[in-house]
Amino acid sequence: MPDDFSVDELDEMSQAVGDLLAASHTVVGRLAQSSGQNANDMFAIGLLIRHGPLGAGDLAQRLSITTASATVLIDRLEASGLARRERDPADRRRVRVHETPMARELNLTLWLPVIRGVDAVCRDLRGAEREAALRLVRRVTAVINSDGRAPDGVPEPSAGGPAAP
């Protein structure tokens, strides 16, 4: 880290986003541990639920792990009844990983209190406040997904401080 950087210099909103990311990481670890999983297993199940069946390479890429590690992860999920492998009907050479009903039920049981709490906070927002919050979350998500680079369609921050409302 550059010597001239201090977290204390960050905008209060940037610090709040950092706190949100840290809380997200913490809750994933806590929920995974409470269910006897590790965080990558929990993330993998979440990916399968949100995106549908995926190949080992797709899971590896989305989890930022090697394909060999993804294969071990899939073996572990399959052995615990949380995933199953099936041949891709469009390409019989390809195997796709599906979550099981047990994985869906476990995931929902673990995450439902968090999901409902976040949904309640989001539903409280109205009008301009809601639109501004939605824009912020989408822009921050795009920056995070692009490893810190402002992707196309996400304006670079203005020089001289926070943007006007």
CATH of the domain at 126: 1.10.10.10
Q: Does residue 31 belong to any structural domain of this protein?
A: yes
What span, in angstroms and rounded, lies between the C-alpha atoms of 68 and 10?
39
Q: Report how many domains make up the chain.
A: 1
Q: Does residue 41 belong to any structural domain of this protein?
A: yes
The predicted structure's pLDDT at residue 104:
95
Q: Does residue 106 belong to any structural domain of this protein?
A: yes
Q: Does residue 157 belong to any structural domain of this protein?
A: no
Phi, psi of 151, rounded to the nearest 5 degrees: -75, 170
Q: Does residue 61 belong to any structural domain of this protein?
A: yes
Q: Which two tokens stand for residue 38?
A: 């590790």
The predicted structure's pLDDT at residue 92:
84
Look-up of token digits 């999920």: 77
What span, in angstroms and rounded, lies between the C-alpha atoms of 116 and 159?
38
Q: Does residue 91 belong to any structural domain of this protein?
A: yes
110 and 45 Cβ atoms separated by less than 8 Å: no
In a 13 Å sphere around the CA of 53, the CA atoms on its Cβ side amount to 13
Q: Does residue 160 belong to any structural domain of this protein?
A: no
Q: What is the pLDDT along the chain (165 residues), one digit of tens a residue?
A: 566 788 888 899 999 999 999 999 999 999 999 999 999 999 999 999 999 999 999 999 999 999 999 999 999 999 999 999 999 888 888 999 999 999 999 999 999 999 999 999 999 999 999 999 999 999 999 999 888 876 666 555 554 444 433
The predicted structure's pLDDT at residue 90:
86
The predicted structure's pLDDT at residue 86:
95
Q: Which two tokens stand for residue 111?
A: 């995450």
Query: Which is nearest to 125 in space by CA: 133, 117, 115, 114?
Result: 133
Domain that holds residue 81: 11-145
Q: Does residue 74 belong to any structural domain of this protein?
A: yes
The DSSP result for 49-65, as a single string, is: HHH--B-HHHHHHHHT-
The predicted structure's pLDDT at residue 162:
47
